[in-house]
Structure 1
Amino acid sequence: MNDMFEIRNLDRDNLTKAHGLDSQRLLPWPALNAPFEGAWCVLRAGDESTPHSHHDYEIFIAMTGSAALDVDGERRAFAAGDIVHLPPGCTHKVVNDTPGDFEYYGIWWDADMSATFLARHAELST
């Protein structure tokens, strides 16, 4: 067995509800030192996520299906293969008006996450 890498499996039967959708967070993951956080997100057919904003930078990578992104009141189509950057402070939600589930991966980061990563990286490198 190779101790240099680890595969984290998606546990579809135990997704957690957050911001109005089902998700699995990337962290905690003791072996991972990353300057970001993330989550696999599933928005069920006919649902929409809770509108919110935060201080983090964020990107969404659409994986399967299609939905609409509403950012500060502007709505745009968002489908598998698309990537969106959401700047800090914008109010955003995902709306799934389709008959199928929409899945995407969200990644977010801020200065504190970067500082924690750099400190741990320096510690692990010595």
Structure 2
Amino acid sequence: MEIRRRDRALVEEHHGTIETLFFYEFEELRSQTQGGYLEFADEFRLKAGEELEPHSHNSDEFYFILSGGGTMTIDGEQAHVERGELVRIKPNLIHSISADQGEDIVAFAFAISYMAEDQLGYTAYPKDGSDPKFVPLGT
């Protein structure tokens, strides 16, 4: 599981006019995201006690936790996530997030997709153990 925390040194840029905290250095993910496109950028809220249905898709997805905390599960591995952390979910890994700390989770999310135009969607993995199913985007 890849979680980047805010415990990194600030870097002065633009002739010292700003300080930047890089979660990923310039060009660090170029080879891993080559051929992708920005699928979406959004802010989401997961209400306290709720869990996002486990799912996968052919996208690099990132969650930056703005407030709250909970449990992130990626490919069977679990980790606590909290405000100020950036989670990377690599393509096609089954993932979910749970607001199990008694408060809502608010996160900024974006994805770099590799899906063909005729294959936009995700695969849901129902918690009841029934067969995974493809869910087209927008449904």
Q: With the length of structure 2 as denominator, give the TM-score of the two structures.
A: 0.53
Percent identity between the aligned chains? 24
Counterpart position of 2:73: 70
Which consecutive unaligned segments of at least 5 residues does structure 2 have?
1-36, 117-139
Alpha-carbon distance between aligned partners in 2 of 1:112 and 1:48, rounded to the nearest angstrom = 25
Alpha-carbon distance between aligned partners in 1 of 2:95 and 2:60, rounded to the nearest angstrom = 12
Tell me the number of residue pairs that the alignment of Structure 1 and Structure 2 aligns: 80
Matched, 1:43 2:46: yes
Counterpart position of 2:57: 54
Contact 2:55–2:94 under 8 Å retained in 1:
yes
Alpha-carbon distance between aligned partners in 1 of 2:104 and 2:55, rounded to the nearest angstrom = 21
Amino acid at match of 2:57: H
Segments of 4+ in structure 1 off by > 2 A?
Answer: 110-113
Higher strand share: 2
Higher helix share: 1
Counterpart position of 1:27: none
1:22-55 per-position Cα deviation (integer Å, ceiling 9, x unaligned): xxxxxxxxxxxx8341221111111100100000
Amino acid at match of 2:106: E
Deviation at 1:97, TM superposition (A): 1.0
Matched, 1:103 2:106: yes
Alpha-carbon distance between aligned partners in 2 of 1:54 and 1:36, rounded to the nearest angstrom = 11
Task: Check 1:102–1:55 CA distance in 2 against 1; reply closer, same or farther (3 A cut).
Answer: same
- Alpha-carbon RMSD across the aligned residues, in angstroms, is 1.8
Counterpart position of 2:89: 86
Alpha-carbon distance between aligned partners in 1 of 2:72 and 2:64, rounded to the nearest angstrom = 12
